[in-house]
Amino acid sequence: MNASPDHGERLVFITDEHWIKFVVPVTVEILLFGTSMLLFAFAGLSAHHSAWLSRMSLVTAALVFWISHHWFFMHLLSESLDRIIITNRRLLRLRYRLLFDEDILEISFEKMKTVDAVKEGLLQNILRYGTLVFESKLAAVKLVKHPNRVARIIQESMAAE
């Protein structure tokens, strides 16, 4: 996957994925944070009534809080590195997951000659994001911002080569 500017490859366009991908993690984090705060409050309220219940609640609250806190920020940091890179010869979709996964999708314009921009449903059309589909679903890149514009850039790069 080495870049080859000496062989005429150059960067044409770079973008990140649509912000809609953050909605679910933020919602889950809010729910888990609220749960941990309720458990902390319960630990405090039950301290004089039942020591073991209070301790259990405290430890559970701490575990829920810390797990959700780290999961949330690991998710945000991972998503912040995701990029879609278009050169004059290929498209690269970079996806990193801290400590767990690294995925690089490479679509060469020598092998893929057609690209479609697809926006399905009300949400994608209102928020202007969608999927780039290559060669009738042989490869697809999701969560692309302004997919029609990106598809046009790719088509121009394909035609130029």
Partner 1 sequence: MSYTGNMALFSTVGQATTSALVFAVTAASLALAVVNVLVFRTQARKYRELLRGFGDENAEGRPGRILIPLYVASTLVAAFVTVWLYVADPHVL
Residue ranges binding partner 1 (CB under 8 A)? 2-5, 9-11, 14, 40-41, 44-45, 47, 51-52, 55, 58-59, 62-63, 65-66, 69-70, 73-74, 76-77, 80-81, 83, 85, 87, 94, 96, 98-99, 102
- Closest to partner 1 by CB, 72 vs 124, is 72
- Closest to partner 1 by CB, 99 vs 122, is 99
Number of C-beta neighbours around residue 80 at 10 A:
11
- Closest to partner 1 by CB, 20 vs 63, is 63
- Closest to partner 1 by CB, 80 vs 125, is 80
Mark 57-74 as b/e (b = at least 16 C-beta within 10 Å).
bbebbeebbeebeeebee
Q: Could you tell me the smallest distance in angstroms from the CB atom of residue 115 to partner 1?
A: 20
133-136-137 Cα angle (round to 5): 60
DSSP letters of 46-106? TTTT-HHHHHHHHHHHHHHHHHHHHHHHHHHHHHHH-EEEEESSEEEEEEEETTTEEEEEE
